[in-house]
Structure 1
Amino acid sequence: MPEGPTLAELGETELIRRLGAFAPLGQFGDDAALLGPALLGPAGGGDLQLVLNTDVLVEDVHFSAATMVAWDVGWRAAAANLSDLAAMGCRDAVGLTVGLVAPGNTTWAWVEEAYAGLTQLLGAHGGVLLGGDCSGGRQRLLAITAIGRLPGDRGGPIRRGDAQPGDQLVCTGAHGLSRLGLAVLRGEALPALAPAVQERAIRAHRRPVPRFDAVAALGASRPVGLPWRVAGCDSSDGLAAAASCLALASGCTALMERQAIPLAPELEGLAAAEDWCLWGGEDFELVLALEPTWAAALVEQLPGTRCIGHMESPLPEGPLVWSDGGEAIPAPSASFQHFG
């Protein structure tokens, strides 16, 4: 009997779609899972909605000793999970659990340092370490499950599939700096960079910050009387990947304005600047689709936020298109792919 395609042949998107068949309808469709009254049961607290996310950080896939020390690994693992909570509409974290896998020759000092970085990032956002498990294995990894809480009458969930034609596409900050930091750490060929630029780039790669502040600004900037409808996700897989994800989930095409892409100023003059801005990944900003007046209000209130395009009814060119020529925006062959 044929065993079917490999994970590399399926790709991450199709794998997640297939895994979703084992869960309630729509449960796998966003950055994290909503646990509302239907799943929490009578003791769930009325309209309380919890948000649950699991993410895995694997050695030699997401980090290596050449690019970050253990403290940074812990910080970054927690930040990635909390970023998914923010991308769902949470303004803080309740806490998280950690599954640690490591070879037996791993030192306690490495583990202690990783957990110190993790708890420092977590403490800055009101959460606590709730527990976890550990096991021996051939390579180090941290499997984290994070829990957040939606703010009730002060906001609502952010869902990938809630965009509509006419919405403005908004992002909360510059992109590409993390990819520059990775290039510096790897010793890739680059023009001469000032030490301060290198330091900012490396910090962006090693110590991202989840944008809970952007979610608070989103709620504060909502025009009076406008219903809560926000499509969004974080840009951990890349700015263009996030915009494409929203378009596909919402049955739209995202038209991006080339002159408006949020290029980190440190990338100016680099040959790879546009690719790294669009596809570099691991910037952990929020990419949102909003009703135009709300988008304008958010841009006014939250420094660094800008409109980068808009949503239209689906076009034959695909989910992601340049607005100034109608050309599809393809992913470069070197962009990160799970199971690739």
Structure 2
Amino acid sequence: MPEGPTLAQLGETELIRRLGAFAPPGQFDDDAALLGPALLGGHPAGDPPLVLNTDVLVEDVHFSEATMGAGDVGWRAAAANLSDLAAMGCHGAVGITVALVAPGHTPWAWVEGAYGGLAELLGAHGGLLLGGDCSGGRQRLLAVTALGRLPAGGGAIRRGDGRPGDALVSTGAHGLSRLGLALLQGEAMPGLAPACRERAIRTHRRPVPRFDAVAALGACRPAALDWRVAGCDSSDGLAAAASCLAVASGCTALLSRSDLPLAAELAGQDQAEDWCLWGGEDFELVLALEPAWADALVQRLEGARRIGRLVEPQACGPLGWAEGGGPIAPPTATFRHFG
């Protein structure tokens, strides 16, 4: 038997850290890889850097026939990757490649629907289907690689660029996707209006990459400030995103309980705070930046709000409450890869 820990014992964060040892320094530190002149031998120094990301949607892990159709699977696979490009500072995508794995008994209609969803997302938010591969396998999965480019004159958004004193900003509400999943799984949500149910389910099935938020961020930067923004997307949850920024930046993230970006549809639900913090798959951006810039962004971008701040490392660890400084711990039911 092989010696050493299993993937379940390592967890996703430690696995990624270890895999980073096989790549150039820093390549595994952000939502996507930044390919500058040093990594691209013939790349002209004046061209904006390329951004590259790969993400996988696996049947019975990220989707099932009970929760979404083939078109939703395709849309979501592409949206997850484009969200990572936005989290790096891209205003759009150049294109994607797609690898399909599926059992031989998979109907062509399912594949056609999935690629139709991919094409629909690209038609709405930019980019081309550039190619890919396919293979037989025991379960269906879509592995998508997305290519983007930072805007000329713009800067990259890096997880480790936060500083003590930075304001934390969420570009939108959280928890709605988790509510949608609960509804699709048949959980009772008393008092929820039909329109709220529809919004929650659509948010879960058809997330939107926040390129608009990145454009707003660049447009409202105060003239006196250089470009320095830390950020990542909140696909793993708002709390996980804030903690990730804090760890990468050598800080503690303090969240204000009174300023949590709770989706309005969660009002009155017992799980509201947990789903806002840990529900995941909202695909918003969580940013750390100078307070004056944060205020300008909140004024410019509908739905954005300040949710806390970065401070020097505290006893609570990477994530705590601004009110009292106590640690913010995940609920026991939080999803874990390899768990």
* TM-score bucket (shorter structure): over 0.9
Counterpart in the other structure of 2:91: 91
Which amino acid counterpart does residue 148 of structure 2 have in structure 1?
A: G
Identity of aligned residues (%): 77
Shift of 1:172: 0.3
Q: Does 1:8 align with 2:8?
A: yes
Which amino acid counterpart does residue 85 of structure 1 have in structure 2?
A: L
Alpha-carbon separation, structure 2, partners of 1:152 and 1:36: 13
Shift of 1:194: 1.5
Local SS of the residue matching 1:101: strand
Which amino acid counterpart does residue 113 of structure 1 have in structure 2?
A: G
Counterpart in the other structure of 1:230: 229
Local SS of the residue matching 1:219: helix
Shift of 1:206: 0.2
Alpha-carbon separation, structure 2, partners of 1:132 and 1:208: 23
Contact 1:88 1:157 in 2 (8 A): yes
**Deviations along 1:25-63, whole A, 9 cap, x unmatched?**
000000000011111112446343000000000000000
Local SS of the residue matching 1:27: coil
Alpha-carbon separation, structure 2, partners of 1:196 and 1:48: 43
Query: Where does 1:236-275 land on structure 2 (aligned, <5 Å)?
Result: 236-275=235-274
Counterpart in the other structure of 2:206: 207
Shift of 1:189: 3.0
Shift of 1:110: 0.4
Counterpart in the other structure of 1:184: 183
Local SS of the residue matching 1:79: helix
**Deviations along 1:146-199, whole A, 9 cap, x unmatched?**
00000021x210000000000000000000000000000000132142211110
**Deviations along 1:62-121, whole A, 9 cap, x unmatched?**
000000000000000000000000000000000000000000000111000100110110
Local SS of the residue matching 1:201: helix
Shift of 1:335: 0.9
Contact 1:36 1:44 in 2 (8 A): no
Query: Where does 1:47-196 land on structure 2 (aligned, <5 Å)?
Result: 47-153=47-153, 155-196=154-195
Local SS of the residue matching 2:13: helix
Counterpart in the other structure of 1:286: 285
Which amino acid counterpart does residue 296 of structure 1 have in structure 2?
A: D
Which amino acid counterpart does residue 88 of structure 2 have in structure 1?
A: M
Alpha-carbon separation, structure 2, partners of 1:40 and 1:2: 37
Moved more, 36-45 or 121-130: 36-45
Computed over aligned residues only, the root mean square deviation of the Cα atoms, in angstroms, reads: 1.0
Alpha-carbon separation, structure 1, partners of 2:231 and 2:50: 18
Alpha-carbon separation, structure 1, partners of 2:161 and 2:256: 21
Local SS of the residue matching 1:97: strand
Structure 1 residues not aligned, in runs of 5+: none
Which amino acid counterpart does residue 79 of structure 1 have in structure 2?
A: A
Alpha-carbon separation, structure 2, partners of 1:274 and 1:175: 9
Which amino acid counterpart does residue 174 of structure 1 have in structure 2?
A: A
Alpha-carbon separation, structure 1, partners of 2:44 and 2:80: 27
Counterpart in the other structure of 1:216: 215
Contact 1:98 1:145 in 2 (8 A): yes
Local SS of the residue matching 1:53: strand
Structure 2 residues not aligned, in runs of 5+: none
Counterpart in the other structure of 1:26: 26
Contact 1:37 1:48 in 2 (8 A): no
Alpha-carbon separation, structure 2, partners of 1:190 and 1:124: 31
Q: Does 1:36 align with 2:36?
A: yes
Which amino acid counterpart does residue 95 of structure 1 have in structure 2?
A: G
Which amino acid counterpart does residue 64 of structure 2 have in structure 1?
A: S
Count of paired positions: 339
Query: TM-score, length-normalised on structure 1?
Result: 0.98
Query: TM-score, length-normalised on structure 2?
Result: 0.98
Q: Does 1:307 align with 2:298?
A: no
Moved more, 46-55 or 189-198: 189-198
